[in-house]
Amino acid sequence: PRPDPRTGAQVKATDRAHVFHSWSAQELIDPLAVAGAEGSYFWDYEGNRYLDFTSGLVYTNIGYQHPKVVAAIQEQAATMTTFAPAFAVEARSEAARLIAERTPGDLDKIFFTNGGADAVEHAIRMARLHTGRPKVLAAYRSYHGGTQQAVNLTGDPRRWASDTGTAGVVHFWAPFLYRTRFHAETQEQECARALEHLETTITFEGPSTIAAIILETVPGTAGIMVPPPGYLAGVRELCDKYGIVFVLDEVMAGFGRTGTWFAADLFDVVPDLMTFAKGVNSGYVPLGGVAISPAVAETFARRPYPGGLTYSGHPLACAAAVATINVMAEEGVVTNAAALGSSLVGPALRELAERHPSVGEVRGTGMFWALELVRNKETREPLVPYNATGEANAPMLAFGAAAKANGLWPFINMNRTHVVPPCNITEAEAKEGLAALDAALSVADEHTV
Ligand code: PLP
């Protein structure tokens, strides 16, 4: 059916009357009424169509409305819409098998959750029970989810309001050469000094008190800082040395985003626990989980794991995961992300950085890229201050509005825009989005000094 603007107005009015939105001042937001979506695009009721360079919240890795996944959900709904988690169910078993087949190293058992934050909650609970230790080390410039423990682990301003009951969370700096905390000039220095800082933190916190170190393999929302070669291997070594459980959070980086099934594959590193969600079924039905090593699983072999969810391994979500993983394999979605990332998107973004004074750095891999926007390339002063709101954030709002006016829906976080389209985006779509981005960056350029 053709979108009717009157329906759009009604949808919006009802939303404003009754929907309480995430992370928002309720009266200061103006959500777009969306009429439909397909592939890499969505559209409103007014006839505007947008190329989605955000993949929703970086989760529609196979785009919207993939017919094979929609059909699998419909079929599962027709045969077994739901069933309690204590039973063995075909869709759940098969999803676990397909995931375990792809997770790095010996990670072999899957605990299903409803999303990413609760996957992090359970990974940390498992690590604490496995080690009998209380503390967890997590990085500044990170995001691990909106539930209490996950948000306490988070290293961005979304944590601040919930910084109560943070028992045992200690933050450290992970490597990020462009804004180095270690006065480094090369990736090698940044890597070595970040590892030294982490080991010092472990020593002063007391190794025997630390259950886990959690890191996003490639930090996502915080800025897509691909770690330097050797960093994650170094963290793995520290974890082994001190008997600490290594948790990699692949909620955003996993399932094709980096041009590999998991970001850990890029670094040849195997964690003890790995969290996933989002791309596992392109977010068509809520699903997340923890992939568990044999050593941690053994802790709960004869002793009950004290945790669970009504919808753990929900059949509809698992059927969507089975179909999504099969589609990704059959249609070469992961290789598409790798190939387009290295042949087209990466080079095109670097070329934009050369021409636009507002682009301080380009970094990323696969379909996972960040542009660091700056007021000045020499000083690297961010285009807007950290955590800016209102007038101070105006340059980023102007950039975003320009992108939308050009038919591109951009991902924006603080002074960055991320290029995170579906992993099965076509070359033509990517070029269209990059052209719109080019035009929008000219608006950001106006705010440079
Ligand atoms: N971990 C990472 C790395 C994420 O990016 C996110 C969400 O963006 C989460 C955890 C939380 O996932 P969810 O919003 O599904 O709870």
The span from the CA of 194 to the CA of 201, in Å, is: 10
Largest CA distance in the chain: 64
Residue with CA nearest ligand 1 atom 5: 252
Read off the tokens for 439: 């035009």
Number of Cβ within 10 Å of residue 385's Cβ equals: 13
Q: How confident is the model at residue 332 (pLDDT cuts 50, 70, 90)?
A: very high
- Give the ligand 1 atom nearest the CA of 249: 3
Q: Quote the mean pLDDT of the chain.
A: 97
- Give the ligand 1 atom nearest the CA of 278: 15
The residue whose CB lies within 8 Å of the most ligand 1 atoms, and thus the one to mutate among 141, 247, 251, is: 251
Please state the rounded mean pLDDT for residues 275-282.
98
The residue whose CB lies within 8 Å of the most ligand 1 atoms, and thus the one to mutate among 21, 122, 252, is: 252
Domain locations in the chain?
Answer: 5-62+332-445, 67-330
Segment holding 213, helix H or strand E: strand 210-216
Q: What is the pTM of this model?
A: 0.98
Which CATH class for the 67-330 domain? alpha beta
Give all strands (DSSP E) within 237-281, no chain letters: 245-249, 273-276
Distance of CA 94 from the midpoint of ligand 1 (Å):
24
Q: What is the pLDDT of residue 78?
A: 98
Complex-level ipTM: 0.99
Residue with CA nearest ligand 1 atom 11: 145
CATH code at 5-62+332-445: 3.90.1150.10
pLDDT tens, residue by residue, 69-101: 999 999 999 999 999 999 999 999 999 999 999
Distance of CA 253 from the midpoint of ligand 1 (Å):
10
Residue with CA nearest ligand 1 atom 12: 116
Does the pLDDT at position 58 exceed 90? yes
More confident residue, 206 or 163: 206
pLDDT tens, residue by residue, 32-51: 999 999 999 999 999 999 99
**DSSP 8-state code for residue 141:** S
pLDDT tens, residue by residue, 127-169: 999 999 999 999 999 999 999 999 999 999 999 999 886 779 9
